[in-house]
Amino acid sequence: DIQMTQSPSSLSAFVGDRVTITCRASQSISRSLNWYQHKPGTAPKLLIYAASALQAGVPSRFSGSGSGTDFTLTISSLQPEDFATYYCQQTYSSSITFGQGTRLEIK
């Protein structure tokens, strides 16, 4: 299986901060990388697909970049509702895998 490693595992930030989360694949996955936001008690929400395409309805402060093995999710100006856990997911392989998650907390 392709291993997906996110960093950091947790992060504290202020409202208004710019935040970047990285995701590294154990082998090249081209641009087959998606990002999700997950809050307790709710279903995960798709933010970014195909590495950089913004899902409909997602605020433009979210952006994604990267290809091959290295990817980033950036939140340009954190809002109170953005505090959640973020996951990357590769769909390049027929055996789909998620990163371990990055917990974003309020400082």
Q: Which residues are at the interface with other proteins (CB under 8 A)?
A: 1, 34, 36, 38, 43-46, 48-50, 53, 55, 87, 89, 91, 94-101
- Pick left, alpha or beta for residue 101 (phi over 0 → left; psi -120 to 50 → alpha; otherwise beta): left
Choose between 17 and 74: whose C-beta lies nearer to other proteins.
74
Choose between 16 and 40: whose C-beta lies nearer to other proteins.
40
Contact criterion met (CB below 8 Å) for 89 and 4: yes
DSSP assignment letter at 77: S
Choose between 32 and 75: whose C-beta lies nearer to other proteins.
32
